[in-house]
Every structure is written in structure tokens, then in C-alpha cells.
Amino acid sequence: MVQIPNPPAPATPAPTRSVPTSADVARLAGVSRATVSYVLNNARAVRISEPTRRRVREAARELGYVPHAAARSLRAGHSRMVLMPAPAFPVGPLYSRFINELQAALSLLDYTVVQYGTVGVHDDEAARAWAELRPVAVLVPGSGLGPRGVEVLKRSGARAVVTLGPETVEGAHALLMDHDVVGYSAGAHLFDTGRRRIGVVVPGERGLDTFSAPRLAGVRAAVRGTDATVTELPLAHDEEAAASLAGRWRDLGLDAVFTYNDEYAMLLMRALQDEGVRIPEETAVVGADDLMLGRLLRPRLSTVHLELPSGRELADLVDRAVNDPSASPEAHKVLGARVIRRDST
């Protein structure tokens, strides 16, 4: 007689964890579902005490509750996504710090910041790609976006388009960053300290001409009508190019140089010192951006300190535009500059 073993008992399915809902958050916080919605959607039209807001947020955090973005967008009529196309030019520490501050300020206003790559698309073509994501606002660094691109974004539901560049664009809010003032400050400082043969570094990196051209023009404007001369100095951001320029420095007969920014200043100063050029006795050097590394150089680097708007100021502009999309576009000049003199001039 063959004994057939009993079939194994079916495995007990693992209990499924239910997805927390706004009702769960309301029960834990001891408030209504409407209050949960008002708090988590950052509704400003309803007055809710700060202790209640904290209790709701803590309950949502404890339960792991995350509002449904699509449902929230349907209720509000728009998303809370702020799209920031990545700039097509190389960015340095100053710009990165500014963007980080802006993202933090927008997060406090309950916006989600998404950065979008720019490879392969340009100008108004890029605007169509951004519009597919249906952002509530778009912050566009640099130049290139035109009125048609702004219109594409607004037809797709963007309530605010803000440009950060040298000029306004029809239909968009504008933070005007006129880089002439950076070059003007450097040129005026060098002239006032007795320098008359001024070189200006023009970076070879693609995309930086948007900033380098007005900075060069600013230096020229600072010494126009005087006995000073300005010499344009194209320079790639590598040691070989800097060494080549330093090797013919004395033939150029320059007694000062504005290096576009602190990073180019560090590159060129090292090469000039390797050639035995004494700074500032033979050549004064001024950078821009006021990076901490410039203070660690010897001699310490004189620099143009750029005064940018705070991230909170720009976040407030975005929020105003989102809440009142029919308002006339605002334009603000936001770039200031002043020289901080150290040992290199």
C-alpha cells in the first residue's frame, strides 16, 4: 500500500499594508478631513493655527501619508511643479548656491522644484518640451526664450514664466541681470588704483559669452574717454592655455587684468606666478564672484562681489504670479556689484 503524503498547506499571504488616507491623518490629528486638505495643500484663504498645522503635518509624517499629486492638481486646477531648465552654460558655485536657496524657499511654499535637462532642444523648441510636463511655473535662466515660447507655456497651463537674463521677454516676468555692471566695477577699480593697460579675460567655454561680452563692455565703458587701454584676452579654462598666455604676458605690456571670474583668476594667477610675474607689483588681478577660495590664494584675490536677489524674494515673485496669473509681468533689475579689494590689486 502506497501512502500519498498530504499536500502542503497553502502559504499564508503576507498581510498587505493599507495605504494611509487623508481620513487616517484626520483621525490621528483630531481634525476634520477638510483641515488636513487645507494644511497639506498650503491653502492660504483659510486661517488655521500653527499648532494645528504642526499636528497635521506630524500625523501625515507618522503615517507616511503622501497627497496624490494628480488628484490635488485636479482640485486646484494646476500642479505645484516649478520647472527649472538646466542652464546651457557652465555654472559655478555662486549660481549653484543661489539655485539651492531658491529651491528651499519654493519648497517652504509647497512647490515641487524639478530641473530639466537642455541637451538637444533650444529656445522655443525647448518650451514645447517643458510644456508637456504641465508645470505651474517655469524659471528660465539665460537668454533664448521668446514670446512664442512664453505663449506655448501659458497655453499648456503655466501660470507664471520668469526669465533670468539680460533682457525682458514679452509676456514673462523678468529678473534682469545686466553683467555690464560687473565689468564696470572691475574696470573703475583698476583705473582708480593707477592701472592703465588693462587686459580682460574672455572665457572660451561655450555659453559663457552671454556674460563675458557685457563684462568686457563694462570694463571698456569704465575707462572710456581716459588714457587707459583695454585688451581682450581669449582663454580656455585649462592649464596649458593659461601657461601659453602667461608666457607672452610681458610682451603684451599689461599692468592689470580682470579675469571674468575667480576661477579664471586662480588659473591665470598660478600661471603668471610660474612665469615670475609679480602680483600686484607688475600686474594687478581682479576676479568676480567673491569665492572663499580666492581668499586662500597668496596674494589674496581682489574680486567683484555680486549682489543677487535672495531665493525667498524670487520664490515670492513666483508665488504672486501663480496666484494672480492675469497680473502684468514684473521686471526687476537684480544684479548689483562692488569690488572687494584684497592683496592682488
- Name the H helices within the chain: 22-29, 33-40, 50-63, 69-76, 93-108, 123-131, 147-155, 180-192, 209-223, 239-247, 249-252, 262-274, 292-296, 311-323
pLDDT of the residue at 15: 52
What does the alpha-carbon distance between residue 92 and residue 267 come to, in Å, rounded to a whole number? 14
pLDDT of the residue at 43: 65
> For residue 122, how many other CB atoms are within 10 A of its CB?
12
What lies within 8 Å, CB to CB, of 179 at 6+ separation is 166, 211, 214, 215, 218, 335
Residue-wise DSSP of 24-68: HHHHHHTS-HHHHHHHHTT-SSS---HHHHHHHHHHHHHHT----
Cα atoms in the 13 Å half-sphere on the side-chain side of 266: 14
pLDDT of the residue at 154: 92
CB 272 within 8 A of CB 299: no
Cα atoms in the 13 Å half-sphere on the side-chain side of 22: 14
> For residue 236, how many other CB atoms are within 10 A of its CB?
14
pLDDT of the residue at 166: 84
pLDDT of the residue at 123: 65
pLDDT of the residue at 2: 46
What's the whole-model pTM score? 0.74
pLDDT of the residue at 164: 86
What does the alpha-carbon distance between residue 243 and residue 214 come to, in Å, rounded to a whole number? 26
Q: What are the mean pLDDT values of the chain's consecutive 10-residue runs (345 residues total)? A: 52 61 90 85 75 90 73 57 80 77 88 75 76 91 84 92 89 91 98 98 89 96 98 97 98 98 97 98 97 94 92 90 91 92 97
What does the alpha-carbon distance between residue 25 and residue 62 come to, in Å, rounded to a whole number? 9
298 DSSP 8-state letter = S
CB 202 within 8 A of CB 212: yes
